[in-house]
Amino acid sequence: MKKMLHEELAVPGYERVVYLDDPSVGLKAIVSIHNTNLGPSCGGIRMLPYASKEEALKDVLALSKGMSYKSALAGIGFGGGKSVIIGDPTKKDPELFAAFGEFLEMFEGKYIAAKDMNISSDDLRMIKKRSRYVLGIDGEPGSSGDPSPVTARGILRGLEATVEEVFGKKSLKGLKVAIQGIGHVGFSLAQMIVQQGGQIWVSDIDQKALDRASKELGAHIVSNDAIYDVDCDVFSPCARGGTLNQQTIARFKCKAVVGCANNQLAEERDGLRLHERGILYAPDYAVNSGGIINIFVEYEGYDQRKAMTMADGIYDTMNEIYSRAKLAKTAPFLVTDKLAEERLYGRN
């Protein structure tokens, strides 16, 4: 740690934010602990070639706060934290990850790391050589493994609550769902929808994923642009964020939006655009918390059945959000932050 230069950054509303510069291995990183009221902060490590320290800081602050809210809504004993490594993810050095592990030890368990963008289980293994505070490593004894099944289960419960709110029934039989992105979570979600008698339309940049969805699930394949025009009951964004915007929302022929992608709204105004069109939007961080639930169960001693049961609680959370939104006569996404803050800070 002698070669490491760390700088404590004072950020209002955040418990601790630290910037690290270790020139000996070329490591520049930031750990942000937003809140630990409910338990130790937990959130993934993201590695990106940020243009500047300021850009990285903006990202990690937003992500760590989002994790506080997501964990609070999920009803788990984690607070919100996140970390970013400023660097080229195509050029990974084991010594860099070892140094990052030493950095983690500084926080003495107040921040627990897991995978996020451009970080693999192999990377986590290198970090774990120097730190005790790492979870979610595939193949490790007691690991929670692939979170996709639990995440998809949570999305399904959010979908059921939304369908019940819109159509007055929980059953997905006959439901038409357009799924944008048929990766691990999207495919698991699609499977469950089809098993319950629903129909799916899918788009993806991966032709092999599309072929599999067509062959195994009887999915209707559409282009990446045409997915916005599908005449369906529910649009499900399960790929990149920001796909709900002024242009796409104007094209929608659905009654609801429920998906697993993060940061689905291009801007807050898009949540209001959906509401004004009479399209019920399930806020992404309220329904896609299966991943952090999976990690929390690993933290306590992994049992997938327990993780699935906890993910089922997303159904009740969504019902509460919709009930509050109706009472307040406003869009559901506007009351979701308030509910999270009540759980996080214990205030009304």
Whose CA is closest to 96, among 113, 52, 88? 88
Residue found by looking up tokens 């509910």 in the block:
339
Q: Could you list the active site residues? A: 82
* CA 166 centroid distance within chain: 24
Count CA within 13 A, CB hemisphere, residue 114: 25
Start-to-end CA span in the chain (Å):
43
Q: How many residues does the chain have?
A: 348
| Neighbour order of strands in the sheet with 27-35 | 5-9, 16-22, 27-35, 79-86, 41-48, 111-115
d(CA 158, CA 152) in angstroms, rounded, equals 10
84 φ, ψ (degrees, to nearest 5): -130, 140
Pairing of strands 5-9, 41-48: unpaired
d(CA 305, CA 251) in angstroms, rounded, equals 40
Q: What would the DSSP string read from start to end of 104-167?
A: HHTTTTSEEEEE-TT--HHHHHHHHTT-S-B---TTSTT-----HHHHHHHHHHHHHHHHHHHH
